[in-house]
Amino acid sequence: MMGNPLHLLMNPRSIAVAGANNNPSKMGTIQALNLLKDGYRGNFYPIHPAEKTVLGFAAYAAPEDLPEVPDLAIMIVPSKAIVPLLESFGKIGTKRAIIITAGFKETGAAGLDMEIKINEIARQYGIRFVGPNCMGIINSQLSLNTTVLPTAKEPGLLGFASQSGTFLSQSLPYLNKRGIRFSKAVSMGNEANINMVDALEYLGEDEQTKAIILYIEGIRDGKRFVEVARRITPHKPVVAQYVGGSVSGARAGMSHTGAMAGPDFLYNGIFKQAGIIRVNTIEDLYAHGWTLATQPPLKGRRVGVITNSGGPSSTIAYTCDAFGLEVPRFSDGLQKEIRKHIEPHASASNPVDMTFDLSMGKLALTLPEMMMKSGEIDALVLHGAMMSGYLKEIYPNLKELIGNISLDEFLKVGQLDRKIPDGTFDLSRIHKMPMLISTFFDHEDNYIQGYLDTNNPVFYSPENTARALASLYRYKQIKERAPHQDVALPKIKKPAKEMISRALTRKQKALDEYEAKQLLACYGIPVTKETLTGKVEEALAAARQIGYPVALKACHWEIMHKSGKGLIALNVKDEIQLKKEFKNIQKNAGKKTPVLVQKMLKGSREFLAGMTRYAGFGPCVVFGLGGVFTEVYKDTTLRLAPLADADAREMFADIRARQLLDKFRGMEKVQLNRLSQILRALGNIALLHPEIAEIDLNPIIIDGAEPVVADALIVLESNIK
Amino acid sequence: MMGNPLHLLMNPRSIAVAGANNNPSKMGTIQALNLLKDGYRGNFYPIHPAEKTVLGFAAYAAPEDLPEVPDLAIMIVPSKAIVPLLESFGKIGTKRAIIITAGFKETGAAGLDMEIKINEIARQYGIRFVGPNCMGIINSQLSLNTTVLPTAKEPGLLGFASQSGTFLSQSLPYLNKRGIRFSKAVSMGNEANINMVDALEYLGEDEQTKAIILYIEGIRDGKRFVEVARRITPHKPVVAQYVGGSVSGARAGMSHTGAMAGPDFLYNGIFKQAGIIRVNTIEDLYAHGWTLATQPPLKGRRVGVITNSGGPSSTIAYTCDAFGLEVPRFSDGLQKEIRKHIEPHASASNPVDMTFDLSMGKLALTLPEMMMKSGEIDALVLHGAMMSGYLKEIYPNLKELIGNISLDEFLKVGQLDRKIPDGTFDLSRIHKMPMLISTFFDHEDNYIQGYLDTNNPVFYSPENTARALASLYRYKQIKERAPHQDVALPKIKKPAKEMISRALTRKQKALDEYEAKQLLACYGIPVTKETLTGKVEEALAAARQIGYPVALKACHWEIMHKSGKGLIALNVKDEIQLKKEFKNIQKNAGKKTPVLVQKMLKGSREFLAGMTRYAGFGPCVVFGLGGVFTEVYKDTTLRLAPLADADAREMFADIRARQLLDKFRGMEKVQLNRLSQILRALGNIALLHPEIAEIDLNPIIIDGAEPVVADALIVLESNIK
C-alpha cells in the first residue's frame, strides 16, 4: 500500500495551493474554498505573488517562503508557470502534486513538450503527481475535496478513477440526489505521471472502498492494468466504462486527455479476462458501482419483485429475463401467505403486485420480509414505496376538502402519514440479501430519502433496477472463477527460431503457409497433413499417400491471401483433376510456384484463432467463428497473452456460436483441451518470438472432434513493438 | 375521427362519477378531485347512495336520478356493483364509460365471466368503455384528468396508450420534472371493450398529438394493429415498449391486465413492418417519444456536440457512433471560427469541448448557433449549460468570502448571474434542427428550467441523449420508406387445393416433401429438380437425367424431420453409391418407403423461410439464415402476411447476415426479386389455404445467384385458427 504514490497524495498533512486568490469567480479560488469548507483539517498554505492573505490564510510568494514543506502541492496556475513552480516545490522537498492546469499533451506538440518537461522535473526531485489537465481528488475520509463542486457530507464506499474530471465534479449534485457517495476519487487528467493503473491499485487496497468504478478513454499500460485488475476483482468488484473504441469516441478522448485509445473489441476482451464488469453509460457506471459497493453478495439468480403497480412489475420481470436472471413463480404456500395481505384482485405469484394501494407498511416491510425469509429468492426489487412525495403532489387538489390545512400539517397529521416502521430500511442488511429500490418519486419523498440515507440503491427507472441486479450476478460469476494461475512459458524451439531468422534474412514479410504450419507444429499446434512441391509428379505421389480428395494451394510468402485468385483448388478428387488444377495454379500465379498438397478435411465446423499486438498491451489472442461466416457475424473474442487454460475456456463460453463446440447435430463434442492448447500456444509463440507481428489461423476445421489448422498466416515485421 | 369511440369519451360535456365521496383517503375521491381541480369545465355529477353532496356538488343516488344524461360515466365502485351500475347508465342513454375498478379477467375465471357480462351490457346499450382495471384518461386540452395524481398545467404534445395505469399516473411527478407533457393519454386496463388499437387510431388522428408512445403487454388484434399503425407512422412517429415476450414478462402481464402475450420476435417484426420504433425501457419510451414530439425532423446523421467537459463529449461521441450516427470532424474554417471563442487548450474539432468554463452565453448560444448555421451538422447535443444550479451548489462554501450575502442576493447580483440571452431556448425552432440537452443539473437550475419550459428535451444522461437522436434518425428512415401498397392475393391454384384436400382426407398431418414442393411450385416458388420413386431402377434413371451428384431422401409425410436418422444421403456420386444408399434408406426407415432423388445443389449460402400463425395476428412469414447455423445465430426476421415486395426487401436488410445476399467472396449477388417472390408467395399461400398450419423451407440454397428450395415441410391442421 505504502508503495503506491496515491497513498501520500490522498492523505497529506499539509497542502500548498498555487492559483487561488480572493476572487470568488476564479476556479482556483472555488477549489481552495471547497478544500477548506468541505472539511480538510490539515495545514493550508496559499501561494500568491501579491496577496498578503488568501481566503483568510497567510499567503506566501513562493514555495521557498513556506514555513514547512507541504506534503502536497496543488497547482491551478497558467500552463507556462507550471514548470518553474514544480521545480520550486521539488527544491524544497515536496513529493506529491496535483496539476489542475490544462494545455498540455491534449493540445498538440508544444503541449506535449511541456508535459515531458514537467515529468523530467518530477523524476529529478522524486515527485509523483496527478494531472495535468484534471479536477484533482476527493478523499471522503479526510473530507479532502479539490474539485469545483462541494462533495457529500458523509464518507462514501465507492472508489472512482476517472479520465474525466466532470464525472467526479460536475456530477456531484446529481450523485448527491441519488445517495451515491465516493470513498476516494481521482480525476486522472493526462496521466503524465500517476496513471489509471496506479489509481486502480490504490483503490483496490483501500479498505474504505467497497467497489471501484473506472471511466476510461484509453489505457496506457494495458499489461499492468490486467495484472492489477486481476488481483483485485476476486475480492472487490470493478466496473468500467470505455468510450475510446469508436472513431469519434477516440477523437474526443484524444483532444480531451491525449488518451491513446484501442479498439472496443480489445477492451471488451481484457475487461473479461481481468474480471471487470463493463457498462456503457456513466449512469450505469455510478449506479451499478454503488449497488456493488453497498449490497450483500448475490447468491443466485432468483429475483423477487414487489410493487403496487403492474407496469413496473412487468418491465422489471421482462428485463430480469433479458439479462439472465429469473423471476420464479412462488410456491403455493408462499402465495397463500402473501394473499392474506393483499386485495383479492392483486397478484401474489411473483411479481407480487399489490395494485394501487397506500399500505406502505405491507409494501415496504411486511411482504418484502416474507419474501426474503421464504428461501425462494436471492434478491428483491421493490417499486412504489412513497408517502410524503405522493401527499405533496395531491395536496393542492385536496387542500380545500381537508379544511385548507397547511401542507406541513397535512403531512404531519394526515391519516396517511404513518410513521415509517422500524426495520424498513434495514431489510437488506438483516437478511443479507440485495434489495434495490425503483421509484418515480425522488429525494423529496420521505421513503426515498430514507432509502438514500441508508445506502439502499435507488433507481428512477424500473428496468435499470433489474439491470443493476444483473451486474451483481455477473460479479458472483467473477468471484467464482478459478483463481488466476501464472503461466510458465515453454522454451524457445530452435527450429522455429531458425525458420524466422532465415525468413528475415531473405527479407520475407511473412512465412509461407508451409513454413507457418511447420512453426506452429513445433509448439504442438495440430496442422493439416501436407507436402510442398514444385513438381506435378511429386504432387501426385503425395496425394496418393494422403488419400483423395486433396486440396492444392499455391504456396509462397508473398501470396498472403489466396482466395478469389484461382490459387486454390479444393476437393480435388482424382489424378486427372489434380494434374489440371496443378497447371491452372501455375498459370494463375503467373510464374512457377510451389504447390501445397493437403489433406482435405471433412468437418463442417470452422473456427479461427489469431494473434495481434496492441500498443501498451502486447500480444493478444483471438478466437471465434471461422470460415465463410467470419466477417458476417464477427463472432470473436480476445485475451491478453499468455493465456491460462481457464482463459481459453472462458473464450469458448464467450462466443455466440459456443454450442458449435458441443455435441451438435450429430457431430461430436470438440476436443476443447486441444483447442485450448492451440490458443495458449499462440500466445506463447508471440511472447517467445517478438519478430512475429501477427498470426492468423483460419479455418481451424473440426475433423471429427479434433481441431486441425487448415490454413495459417504468420506475418513478420522489422519494427518490433 | 368521429367513428372512433374515444372521441366522445375524451371530450365529454358532462361526467357522472360513481365511487367518489368526501373521504380524502379514498382513491375515487382523489380521482374526482383531480378531475375537478385540474380544470375540467363540463358538468359534474357524483353518484352516491347516501351523501347529499360530494365534494361540494349535489350527489345523486342512481343514474336514473340525474338531471341530464351524462356523456361519460366513471366507475370506481366494487367490482360486483359494476354490472348493475353499467346497466343503469345504459338505460338512461349514457354511451361512454371508464371502469376503473379491478378484479376482472386478470384474476381468473370468475372475473372473466363478469367481464364478459359487462361487455354484453355495453353491446346491448351501445356503450363503449375503457377498462376495467385501469387509471382512466388524460385529455390535456380539456384539463380532463381521471388519474390518481395531478397532471401538468400546460397541455402537452405526446399521446400515450398504456397497458399500465402507473405509467400515466404514478409517473406524473417524474414526467413533470422532465418537462414531458401528454396531449392525451389512455390507461387501457383489460381492454374488454375499447382496445389499444382504438387508442392508437384515435391518437393518430388527434391533431394535438405530435408523437405517440405505446406501453404494451400484449396486443389483442394484431392484424388491425399493423394496419392502423402503418397508416399513422409515415406522418406521425410511434414508439413502443413491449414486455410480454419473456416468460416472467408474460406472466406479469397476464396477472396485470390479462394480456395475451406473444414472442418477442413476433413483436419485433410487426413493429418494424408497421414503422414503429421499439425501445426497451419506460424511460426511453417517454424521452424518445417527447424528443420526436417536440423536435424538427432530423435531416441527416451528422451530430454536432458542444460541451464544457471532456467526459460527456467522449461518451456522447461514442454513443453516436454505436447507434449509427456520425460526429464529423469540423472543417478547418468552422474550427477557426470556433477557436476565436474558446480557450487555447479547448477543442474545436467536434465535439467542441470548451473545458470547464462558465461562459454560458458562448456554450449555450454563440457556439451552438455557429454550428447550426455551418451546414456541417444535422442535429446538436449540448451538455453543461447551467447557472443558478451551480451557484446554489457552491454558495455555502463561498458565503463567507462574499460577505455573507443571502443566496437570493448572490443569485441576483453575483457577477456570474448574467441574464440568459434571448434566443437561447429557441435555437431548435429558429434553425429547424433538433437540439437535445444533456445535464447533471435539473429543474432547480435556471438554464435547465428554461429548456424544460420551452419543450427542449432534457436528459440526465449524456448517452441517453445520443440514443434519443438515434430514434430521430430511425424515424427519418421510416418516413422515407416507400408508401405501403395493398397486396392483391393471387387466385387459388386448383392443384394445390386438391392436394391439401386429398391429404386431409387421408388424415395426413403434413404433406410429404415431394407434395410440399409441388404445392410451392404451383405458386411460383423455385424448388429442386426431383423425382419420387419406390424403385431403385427408376431412381437410377432419374439420377442419370438430373446428373450426379444427387441427394436421396426418404419421403413420407410422417417423416417430418429426417436428419440424424439415416434417411438422407447427400452427395451421392455414382450408380454404385446410389444403389447402396437406396437400400440403406429402406432399411433405416424400417419399411418400404418412397425415395426422393434430388439434384444436389452446390451453393454454400443457405437461408430459410417459413410461415407460422400467431393468435390475433394471423399468418406471419419468417426469413433468415438457414442450414447448420439456424439455431446457432437465430438470425431471422418476421413480417405479417400478406407481404409487399417492400416488406421482403426490409427483411433482407434486417438480418445480420445481410451481406451474404450481396456479392460475397467471389459469389454472385443473390436474385433478390426471386427471393422476395418466395417470401410473398409463402404469405399468400397461408392466406389462401387456411388448412396449412405451418411451412418450413430450410435450406433455401443459393445456386449461383438463384434461390432454390432444397427441403420443405408443410404442416396441416384440422383445427384451423
Residues of chain A contacting residue B245, judged by C-beta atoms under 8 Å apart: 318
Give whole-number Cα distances, A439 to A317, B163, B257, B290, in Å.
15, 18, 21, 20
The CATH class given to the A296-479 domain equals alpha beta
Q: What average pLDDT does range B668-683 have in this prediction?
A: 97
Nearest chain B residue to A29, by CA? B398
Residue A324 phi, psi (nearest 5): 80, 10
**Is a pLDDT exceeding 80 seen at residue B2?**
no
Nearest chain A residue to B247, by CA? A321
Whether residue B628 lies within 8 A of chain A, CB to CB, comes out as yes
Q: Mutation test of the interface with chain A: which of B186, B279, B315, B664, choosing the one with the most A Cβ atoms within 10 A?
A: B315
Q: Could you give the angle at the alpha carbon of B659 between the alpha carbons of B657 and B664, nearest 5°? A: 125
Per-residue confidence (pLDDT) for residue B1, from 0 to 100: 45
Which amino acid is residue B340, in one-letter code? Answer: K
Question: Given an 8 Å threshold on Cβ–Cβ distance, is B255 in contact with A463?
Answer: no
Question: Given an 8 Å threshold on Cβ–Cβ distance, is A397 in contact with B150?
Answer: yes
Q: Are B511 and B503 in contact (CB under 8 A)?
A: yes
Whether residue A324 lies within 8 A of chain B, CB to CB, comes out as no
- Residues 287-306 of chain A whose Cβ lies under 8 A from any Cβ of chain B: 305
Domain boundaries, chain A: 5-293, 296-479, 529-599, 606-716
Say which residue, A256 or A214, is predicted with more confidence.
A214
Q: Which ranges in A547-670 belong to alpha helices (H)? A: 575-589, 630-633, 645-654
User: B524 exposed, middle or buried (CB, 10 Å; 0-12, 13-18, 19+)?
Assistant: middle
**Is a pLDDT exceeding 90 seen at residue A356?**
no
Q: Mutation test of the interface with chain B: which of A248, A256, A377, choosing the one with the most B Cβ atoms within 10 A?
A: A248
In this structure, which topology does domain B483-526+601-721 adopt according to CATH? D-amino Acid Aminotransferase; Chain A, domain 1 (3.30.470)
Q: Which residue in A168, A85, A164 sits closest to A127, CA to CA? A: A85
Whether residue B378 lies within 8 A of chain A, CB to CB, comes out as no
Whether residue B329 lies within 8 A of chain A, CB to CB, comes out as yes
Q: What average pLDDT does range A3-31 have in this prediction?
A: 93
Strand partners, B706: B703
Distance CA A520, CA A713 (A): 10
Per-residue confidence (pLDDT) for residue A373, from 0 to 100: 98
Distance CA B573, CA B583 (A): 16
Which amino acid is residue B211, in one-letter code? Answer: A
- Residues 437-496 of chain B whose Cβ lies under 8 A from any Cβ of chain A: 440-442, 460-464
The rounded radius of gyration (Å) of the Cα atoms in chain B is: 32
Distance CA B551, CA B533 (A): 13
- Tell me the per-residue pLDDT of B283-301, one tens digit each, with 9 for 90 and over: 999 999 999 999 999 999 9
The sign of the torsion formed by the CA atoms of A524, A528, A529, A530 equals negative
Q: Which ranges in B446-535 belong to alpha helices (H)? A: 446-453, 462-479, 494-505, 513-522
Per-residue confidence (pLDDT) for residue A53, from 0 to 100: 94
Q: Which residue in A137, A108, A106 sits closest to A257, CA to CA? A: A106
Question: Given an 8 Å threshold on Cβ–Cβ distance, is B256 in contact with A33?
Answer: no
Per-residue confidence (pLDDT) for residue B557, from 0 to 100: 87
Mean pLDDT over the full length of chain A = 93
Question: Given an 8 Å threshold on Cβ–Cβ distance, is A255 in contact with B349?
Answer: yes
Q: Are B457 and B475 in contact (CB under 8 A)?
A: no
In terms of DSSP bridges, do strands A606-614 and A618-625 run parallel, antiparallel, or are they unpaired?
antiparallel
CA distance B245 to chain A (A): 8
Distance CA A54, CA A291 (A): 41
Of B104, B318, B628, the CB nearest to A249: B318
- Tell me the per-residue pLDDT of A416-472, one tens digit each, with 9 for 90 and over: 556 899 999 999 999 999 999 999 999 999 999 999 999 999 999 999 999 999 999
User: A386 exposed, middle or buried (CB, 10 Å; 0-12, 13-18, 19+)?
Assistant: buried
Q: Are B229 and B235 in contact (CB under 8 A)?
A: no
Is the CATH number 3.40.190.10 carried by domain B5-293? Answer: no
Distance CA B356, CA B367 (A): 15
DSSP B571-618: EE-SHHHHHHHHHHHHHHHTS---EEEEE----S-EEEEEEEEETTTE
Q: What is the CATH number of domain A529-599?
A: 3.30.1490.20
Question: Given an 8 Å threshold on Cβ–Cβ distance, is B244 in contact with A314?
Answer: yes
Q: State yes or no: cis peptide before A150, omega within 30 of 0.
A: no
Is the CATH number 3.40.50.300 carried by domain B529-600? Answer: no
Whether residue A428 lies within 8 A of chain B, CB to CB, comes out as no
Whether residue B49 lies within 8 A of chain A, CB to CB, comes out as no
Q: What average pLDDT does range B417-436 have in this prediction?
A: 92
Whether residue B22 lies within 8 A of chain A, CB to CB, comes out as yes
Collapsing DSSP to helix, strand or coil, A608 comes out as strand
- Tell me the per-residue pLDDT of B229-245, one tens digit each, with 9 for 90 and over: 999 999 999 999 999 98
Collapsing DSSP to helix, strand or coil, B509 comes out as coil
Residue A388 phi, psi (nearest 5): -65, -30
Q: Is B626 left (phi over 0), alpha (psi -120 to 50) or beta?
A: beta
The yes-or-no answer to whether A529-599 and A606-716 have a common fold is: no
Distance CA B178, CA B452 (A): 7
Q: Are B48 and B62 in contact (CB under 8 A)?
A: no
The CATH class given to the A606-716 domain equals alpha beta
Sheet holding B595-599, edge to edge: B530-533, B595-599, B550-554, B568-572
The sign of the torsion formed by the CA atoms of B436, B440, B445, B447 equals negative
Of A106, A244, A656, the CB nearest to B633: A656
DSSP A225-269: HHHHHHHHTTTS-EEEEE--SSHHHHHHHHHHH------HHHHHH
| Most confident of the following: A406-415, A469-478, B340-349 | A469-478
**Is a pLDDT exceeding 50 seen at residue A537?**
yes
Whether residue B80 lies within 8 A of chain A, CB to CB, comes out as no
Question: Given an 8 Å threshold on Cβ–Cβ distance, is A280 in contact with B29?
Answer: no
Question: Given an 8 Å threshold on Cβ–Cβ distance, is B251 in contact with A349?
Answer: yes
Q: ipTM score here?
A: 0.95
Interface contacts A/B by beta carbons within 8 Å: 343
Q: Which residue in B628, B597, B619 sits closest to B715, CA to CA? A: B619
Q: What is the enclosing helix (H) or strand (E) of A623? A: strand A618-625
* Cell numbers representing residue A283 in the block: 449512469
Sorted by sequence, the CB contacts under 8 Å of residue B404 that are 6+ apart come out as none
Of B177, B243, B441, the CB nearest to A314: B243
**Is a pLDDT exceeding 50 seen at residue B721?**
no
CA distance A498 to chain B (A): 36
Please tell me the least confidently modeled range out of A234-238, A297-301, A340-344: A340-344
User: A247 exposed, middle or buried (CB, 10 Å; 0-12, 13-18, 19+)?
Assistant: middle
Residues of chain B contacting residue A163, judged by C-beta atoms under 8 Å apart: 311
DSSP code, position B661: G
Of A246, A314, A349, the CB nearest to B253: A314
Residues of chain B contacting residue A164, judged by C-beta atoms under 8 Å apart: 309-312, 314
Whether residue A636 lies within 8 A of chain B, CB to CB, comes out as no
- Tell me the per-residue pLDDT of B21-56, one tens digit each, with 9 for 90 and over: 998 888 899 999 999 998 899 999 999 999 999 999
Nearest chain A residue to B329, by CA? A248
DSSP A452-474: HHTT--EESSHHHHHHHHHHHHH
Per-residue confidence (pLDDT) for residue B375, from 0 to 100: 97
Q: Which residue in A530, A498, A526 sits closest to A513, CA to CA? A: A530
- From first CA to last CA, the distance across chain B in angstroms is 32
Question: Given an 8 Å threshold on Cβ–Cβ distance, is A463 in contact with B401?
Answer: no
- Residues 182-241 of chain A whose Cβ lies under 8 A from any Cβ of chain B: 215, 217, 241
Question: Given an 8 Å threshold on Cβ–Cβ distance, is B252 in contact with A215?
Answer: no
Which amino acid is residue B193, in one-letter code? Answer: N
* Cell numbers representing residue A624 in the block: 471465434
- Residues 92-111 of chain B whose Cβ lies under 8 A from any Cβ of chain A: 102-104, 106-107, 111
* Cell numbers representing residue A699 in the block: 479455418
Question: Given an 8 Å threshold on Cβ–Cβ distance, is A356 in contact with B166?
Answer: yes
Q: Which residue in A189, A197, A195, A153 sits closest to A168, CA to CA? A: A189
Residues of chain A contacting residue B464, judged by C-beta atoms under 8 Å apart: 281, 283
Of B22, B314, B632, the CB nearest to A249: B314
Q: Are A494 and A518 in contact (CB under 8 A)?
A: no
pLDDT-above-90 percentage for chain A: 81
DSSP B335-388: HHHHHTTS-TTSB-SSSEE--S---HHIIIIIHHHHHHHTTS-SEEEEE---SH
- Tell me the per-residue pLDDT of B391-422, one tens digit each, with 9 for 90 and over: 899 999 988 888 888 988 888 876 555 689 99
Q: Mutation test of the interface with chain A: which of B82, B164, B318, choosing the one with the most A Cβ atoms within 10 A?
A: B318
Residues of chain A contacting residue B173, judged by C-beta atoms under 8 Å apart: 389, 393, 440-441
Maximal CA-CA distance, chain A: 109
Distance CA A363, CA A304 (A): 13
**Is a pLDDT exceeding 90 seen at residue A698?**
yes
